[in-house]
Amino acid sequence: MKINPNGWVPVLLWDSGTMYECAAITIFLCDRHPEARLAPAVGEPTRALYLQTLVYFSNSVQNAFQLTYYPDRFANSPHGETGAKQRGNRRLRETWSVVNQQIGSNDWGITKKR
């Protein structure tokens, strides 16, 4: 709770600070270590799609997982949990379809490091 007041993971700790929120951590690490080529660099044409997909994961896919795996957070009673879980599963299929349409058939030109 001291590091992340929400009490959630992930949390990134490094020499000069801390950070939480998965998308923020991902962008931070990719930008901090450009030599690893973890993401398109600022200015590359595919950077927009990378950011769009990353934020979509955080806002949509993650929420669908929560509905599926934590239905008690979205239902007023145990009786309503089944419906929340079913909606979560439908939403997961919807979100994965969007992700597949955005990035599924792309050739990312991944090359091996020498």
The residue that leads in pLDDT, 9 or 36, is: 36
Q: Would 112 be classed as within a structural domain?
A: no
**Per-residue pLDDT tens for 20-57?**
888 999 999 999 999 999 899 999 998 999 999 999 98
Asked whether residue 65 carries a pLDDT value surpassing 70, the answer given is yes
- The domain tally of the chain equals 2
**92/14 Cα distance (integer angstroms):** 33
98, 67: one domain: yes
5, 30: one domain: yes
Structure tokens at 75: 């239902």
The residue that leads in pLDDT, 112 or 9, is: 9
**39/26 Cα distance (integer angstroms):** 9
Q: Which range of residues forms the domain containing residue 12? A: 1-39
Q: 71 — phi, psi (to 5°)? A: -60, -25
Distances (CA, A) of 18 to 31, 51, 105, 112: 16, 21, 35, 31
